Structure 1
């Protein structure tokens, strides 16, 4: 992942910003994701898995929908590299014994950035089916994934489940609920 993407992820981009980033920067997005964004809804290719329904997408993204936008962006990008996620979890375990251990050079920058969130790396590695399903959904239904995240956020704000506190800042920007880390 190029440095410019990391700069974008480092600041709040919102779910809408993630959409813009993934659509406007085809060189930053794996080919399957760029192709999936341009395919028409009814046109399925040989490699394309069956499209998920709105309810299935909401279930898929429920565990990350209320995370800060920057973390959702990292998880989304990293889900396209499930093998690297498994390697990252192993790396974190080995790093406990060898503090000088360094990540592999070939890893995607999103996976390297996720090393700062060991619980997330463990969750993604332990549930590899979910990680791959998220990556597949992003590859073929990117807009639908982002809509599902926003739908869950809207419900959470309406129900008072999430609001600004000492850990997160919740802001309504137009039709989007933006969640930022408080610090």
Structure 2
């Protein structure tokens, strides 16, 4: 008996392990199919993964607002002859996202992003759907360059490796140098079948290990409003205006209360979302209350529509689809034909007289010189008004008489009390 029970228990355990072993690969395969492939993502992030963390943050956030990036690049190109102070003043009047404004001092980056629209859209979709996966691949590419000895601290940047996280900072917080490098050389052996994206660069200085460095860009303290919280693999931004330059490592500045996790603002998107974003992140699309998008089954028609317009269309279709019942038809008929029915009933009762409404219309007018008589309720109202005026006119005299009577009575009481006091003194 005991052997049979033990055999049944073992059989049930084996079946449960088989079910788990079969379901786990299916779930992982489903997640991997929904995500961007590792080879595709590494190829997209190869030209920016070795930028300073603050620049990478602004590029990733700005990629989710492609139209603003294009608009900023054209605006910067048309105002290239202005000074930096004038550009900063004009930039404050723009309604772009802060990350787009932060990239205006880097015209090369803006031109590369706006010219390669496929890259811009692919990176933006990856950030919206898999932010942690994107940042994880950035660290993987940095580690690959670190292991090949091509990523180190120099006069232009400071590289630190701690807890399996590589942080790249500017050597001076007020100055940022943007590097240019060939991914096929810097990352060593490129093991993916998809070739990495290579951005052409306009450089002035060349360093060993395949790094080129452009001109210095002086930035303000507000440039550091956003950064990356590497332990949790998400972007953080400050909800307050930053007025100071970072004096310590960025890893120690994430726990302060002024930083919170970045959230995409769909109101600044002004462009359709791809099929991947509609399927993976419907909450991002429905975040803004004044816009509504179509379902994920029709990605080509996923355009913004005002809620009011959509509600009117739905109401119109609902009214057209609704068929009134017999009771509703009878009620509508009685409401429409009620005046005619009342006139017919009145003529049936008084065949020699017309309808009272018709009689009032043909009522003969009175002569102009004759004053029409007032209605009864107006006459009564006039009489009440006259009565109130007469009583109000007589009231002061009555008050004067009453006051005189009170004075006489008071003087009599005083004289009586005086006489009584005198008699009491004599006795």
On whether the aligned pair clears a TM of 0.5, the verdict is yes
State the shift of 1:98 in Å.
5.0
Q: What is the match of residue 268 of structure 2?
A: none
Q: List gaps (5 residues or longer) in structure 2.
A: 1-27, 173-427
- 1:132 is aligned to 121
Distance 1:119 1:41 in 2: 39
Shift of 1:92: 1.0
In the TM superposition, what is the alpha-carbon distance from 1:108 to its structure 2 partner? Answer: 0.4
What is the CA distance between 1:89 and its match in structure 2? 0.8
**Does 2:60 correspond to 1:76?**
yes
Change (3 A) 1:179 1:62: same
Partner of 2:149: 160
**TM-score when scaled to structure 2?**
0.31
Range that drifts further, 104-113 or 161-170: 104-113
Residue number among 37, 45, 57 corresponding to 1:53 in the alignment: 37
Give structure 1 regions of 4+ aligned residues with deviation exceeding 3 angstroms: 40-44, 97-101
Distance 2:129 2:170 in 1: 29
Match of 2:102 among 95, 98, 113: 113
Q: Residues 112 and 75 of structure 1: is their aligned pair in 2 closer, same or farther, counting only changes over 3 Å?
A: same
Among 135, 147, 154, the alignment partner of 1:146 is 135
Could you say if the C-alpha distance between residues 166 and 51 of structure 1 is closer, same or farther in structure 2, counting changes exceeding 3 Å? same
User: What is the distance in 2 between the residues matched to 1:113 and 1:142?
Assistant: 20
Q: Which residue of 1 aligns with 2:162?
A: 173
Q: Once the two structures are superposed, what CA deviation does each residue of 1:44-90 show, in whole Å capped at 9, x if it has no partner?
A: 9xxxx953111111111111000000000010111111101111111
Between 1 and 2, higher relative CO (CA 8 Å, sep ≥ 6) is seen in: 1
CA distance in 2, matches of 1:124, 1:58: 17
Count residues with an aligned counterpart: 140
CA contact (8 A) 1:57 1:144 kept: no
State the partner residue of 1:182.
171
SS in structure 1 at match of 2:166: strand
- Structure 1 residue 97, shift from structure 2 partner: 4.1
Matched residue, 1:67: 51
Q: CA deviation at 1:42?
A: 3.7
Q: Within the alignment, does 1:122 sit opposite 2:111 as a pair?
A: yes
**2-structure distance, mates of 1:88, 1:105:** 9
Q: Could you list the per-position Cα deviations for residues 127-166 of structure 1 after superposition, in whole angstroms to 9, with x for gaps in the alignment?
A: 1111111110011111111111000000101101111000
CA contact (8 A) 1:54 1:144 kept: no
TM-score (norm 1): 0.70
- Work out the CA distance in 2 between the residues paired with 1:122 and 1:149: 22
Higher Rg of the two aligned structures: 2
* Secondary structure, counterpart of 2:76 in structure 1: helix
Q: What SS does the aligned partner of 1:171 have? A: strand
- Whether 2:95 is the aligned partner of 1:89: answer no
